[in-house]
Amino acid sequence: MKRIPSIAEMKAACRQITRSGKTLGFVPTMGALHEGHLSLVRAAKARCDVTAVSIFVNPLQFGPTEDLAKYPRTLERDCALLEELGVDLVFVPTVRGMYGTTQVSVQTKDAKLGHTHTGPTLSTTEVDKGGAPAAERKTQDGIEKTYVLVEGLSDRLDGASRPGHFRGVATVVAKLFEIVRADCAFFGQKDAAQVAVLRKMVRDLDMDVEIVVCPIVREKDGLAMSSRNVYLSPEQRQQALVLHRALMRVQMMADQGERDVAKLAEIGKQVIAEEPGARLDYFAIVDADTLDPIADVRRGALVAVAAYFGTTRLIDNILLT
């Protein structure tokens, strides 16, 4: 397995693979790998000749009060897991390599809410060897950059609670797609809104990559696996089971013939309210592609929930068919 920090080297390695006629599968991650990530890697390996994984904690998708600095970073362990699975390339870029600076701005539509992050762990020795970092131009207000914004979708669900989040996601994924130019890219259904945003980005920008979505991997008791689960105290870990419980209750009511979205959402919210340790962010039943509200679930729906347990924000969802 080759570990590559430089954009130029990663491009060269990926082009060599695709030019040789082999198919390339790509799994973007932020590291702190768990079985959910590994399921994407297995899917990529089953589908493509060569597999590339990226590990990059993307500051551009974290809000000013979010957990960028404390996000778990377990690079050596992650690489050992990927090597064991037979991954061919691991791309581990630096913040400076990706953005030309460690001052990455998370801005909302209202520029006044803009905020500047300082990259957490960058030292000069981390700067890419194989290629110049992305160009930066200093302005009075900060640094001018190029962003990818999927309008509309980016303001729904997690995008409503985390302004600027999906602009950060779309921008980094567009960059990674251009660097890797994979045939297929693998994402988890766990981040359902992210899937909707990225599918639209690929459609709207005519990107030549197939998005493959893999099912949510859960712990035995139903909790969706997440790198953020390590933040939970044992008590919060128990409380967090309410997310899956609420989704299962809605699934059951829908299976029994309840079609009305307002009633189903009310049931889900009630289940969450019964857990005093949970602070609901949203409970939404929407169209899975457009994330638009729907009136009934006759033609399928995404049931999505986000809630805080202490300061840890967790998400989960199910698809009603």
**Residue numbers annotated as active site:** 37
Q: Which is nearer to ligand AMP, 129 or 203 (CB)?
A: 203
The nearer residue to ligand AMP, 177 or 261, going by C-beta atoms, is: 177
Give the closest residue to 58 by CA, choosing from 24, 28, 13, 90: 28
Q: Is 87 strand, coil or helix?
A: coil
# chain residues binding ligand AMP, by CB under 6 A: 17
Q: What is the DSSP letter of 218?
A: B
Binding mask 204-243 toward ligand AMP (x if CB under 6 A, else -) reads ----------x-xx------xxxx----------------
> Least CB distance from residue 10 to ligand AMP, whole Å?
18
Among 128, 158, 191, 275, binds ligand AMP (CB under 6 A): 191
Under rule CB under 6 A, residue 29 binds ligand AMP? yes
Q: Which amino acid is at 244?
A: H
Residue number with CB closer to ligand AMP (156 or 265): 156
- Distance in Å, CB of 217 to ligand AMP, minimum: 4
Query: And the tokens for 205?
Result: 């920008």
CB 129 within 8 Å of CB 6:
yes
Options 7, 10, 24, 30; binder of ligand AMP; rule CB under 6 A: 30
Q: What end-to-end distance do the CA atoms of the chain give, in Å?
A: 40
Contact (Cβ atoms closer than 8 angstroms) between residue 240 and residue 309:
yes
As a whole number of Å, the CA-based R_g of the chain is 20
**Are the CB atoms for 157 and 173 separated by under 8 Å?**
no
Structure tokens, 19: 């030019």
Which residue, 173 or 264, has its beta carbon nearer to ligand AMP? 173
Mark 35-54 with x for binding to ligand AMP (rule: CB under 6 A) and - for no binding: -xx-xx--------------
Q: Closer to ligand AMP at the Cβ: 43 or 250?
A: 43
Distance CA 11, CA 138 (A): 27
Give the Cα separation of 40 and 258 in Å (integer). Answer: 33
Q: Which residues bind ligand AMP (CB under 6 A)?
A: 29-30, 36-37, 39-40, 187-188, 190-191, 214, 216-217, 224-227
